Amino acid sequence: RAAVGEGQGGLEMVTLKAGDQVAEVYTFGGVCTSWTVNGKDVLYVRPDAKFDKSKPISGGIPHCWPQFGPGDMQVHGFARNCQWEL
């Protein structure tokens, strides 16, 4: 099951549920910030992560595309700064 709602900072968030697993994915950056299995979250999000679109959400499972690390474009690419659609 999938449900679209509001997450931290008023950002759009998709909640995915399958059995005892729940994932929370923000459409800003397409980042999965939570994956709970048997009631225990197995992902880490920095306590100072920004949920205001001023910078990518730090933690979880980010999209680092088309590069990881420094290079010819911004660190870790541009995909994690984009608004994604479901």
**Are the beta carbons of 62 and 56 closer than 8 angstroms?**
yes
What pLDDT sits at residue 66?
74
Q: Which helix (H) or strand (E) holds 39?
A: none
Q: What is the pTM of this model?
A: 0.86
Mean pLDDT, 10 residues at a time, the chain of 86 residues: 96 96 95 96 95 92 76 75 85
Q: Tokens 């909640």 appear where?
A: 15
Buried b (16+ CB within 10 A) or exposed e, 39-56: eeeeeebeeebebeeeeb
What pLDDT sits at residue 38?
94
**Are the beta carbons of 58 and 52 closer than 8 angstroms?**
no
